[in-house]
Structure 1
């Protein structure tokens, strides 16, 4: 799996984790087939050379692959509901707006700004920095409270 992602998709520095073993005897008409699914989360810049399809637009998968995709999406969404940026997709420092945009993209829907802010602030540490190079009032920059 790692070699395939590295050689075909040109994605390096992967940290895969096992998602689930799919072993329903009826999942393939040809016989009992087992699949071990892994979840790999990468920064957008890492997949610049790859054609991506939004999860909501994935249709017509074979066997039980739609279940595998659904479980991966649900797992990632649950992780981001519980933690600010568990996969560290934003890097060490970020604004609340950047974090909100990331969470909205993962949730697949816009999230309420005020509720999101209240939910996240306990997991973040405000730095002395402000977002550089913006028009208007610059946003405060935060980092993760732990880790």
Structure 2
């Protein structure tokens, strides 16, 4: 085949969004119920095709989040998670998707719009276990997004954003357990937190307790990158016994 005879393949470009938050001390992901084919009625990540060739990909991601879940989150920090383009991932043709990730506290309830029949927060355990059947390859994308979020908690101070202005070590541990999906030994966790300089600083007050001594309060420290990092344990405390 000569260069003049070669015809480039038709490839469609889409965006998908993995939006994670904590609700009732459990990690949740934003999913929509698809209102159109393919996979009509199935749960999926919010996302869709670029509207035109000149549309910026990140702009398209924010637009799809607003259209499908009615969330006005222009201030939400989206980071590119990966590119997914396996042949056959979409029955409509060769579709390459640029996936974005955001993990943030106190996100509001979504409202379905455009081609989404419903939208809501779903516990991440149900997705990772396969209890929820998702459209396309969205379970794989979510799995990658959760792992990225877990690594971010190891190496950044992101966990403090999910606590109040002041918090206890136990409050902070609850965030790590929710995102990592494993129970942690309180003594080891306390030691790691205290060893990471600038992660948290004393707030100068204590929270009253019903029994025992009042719990010490802390606030987020000046460091955004943790060194040494808060490395996940390879096994839970119960598995050590």
Report the TM range for the smaller structure's normalisation. Answer: 0.7 to 0.9
Q: In proportion to residue count, which structure has more helix?
A: 1
Matched, 1:106 2:106: no
1:80 to 145, 149, 153: 153
* Cα displacement (A) at 1:99: 0.2
Return the index of the structure with the highest Cα Rg: 2
Matched, 1:25 2:87: yes
More contact order relative to length (CA 8 Å, sep ≥ 6): 2
1:53 matched residue in structure 2: 122
Q: Residues 22 and 142 of structure 1: is their aligned pair in 2 closer, same or farther, counting only changes over 3 Å?
A: same
Matched, 1:124 2:200: yes
CA distance in 2, matches of 1:3, 1:47: 17
TM-score by length of 2: 0.53
- Report how many residues are paired: 145
* Cα displacement (A) at 1:87: 6.9
Q: In proportion to residue count, which structure has more strand?
A: 2
1:5 to 65, 69, 72: 65
Q: Residues 87 and 144 of structure 1: is their aligned pair in 2 closer, same or farther, counting only changes over 3 Å?
A: closer
- CA contact under 8 A between 1:84 and 1:99: conserved in structure 2? no
SS of the residue corresponding to residue 68 of structure 1 reads: helix
* Cα displacement (A) at 1:142: 1.6
Matched, 1:138 2:198: no
Moved over 6 A (4+): none
TM-score by length of 1: 0.82
Structure 2: any 5+ residue segments left out of the alignment?
Answer: 1-60, 111-118, 225-241
Q: Residues 68 and 29 of structure 1: is their aligned pair in 2 closer, same or farther, counting only changes over 3 Å?
A: same
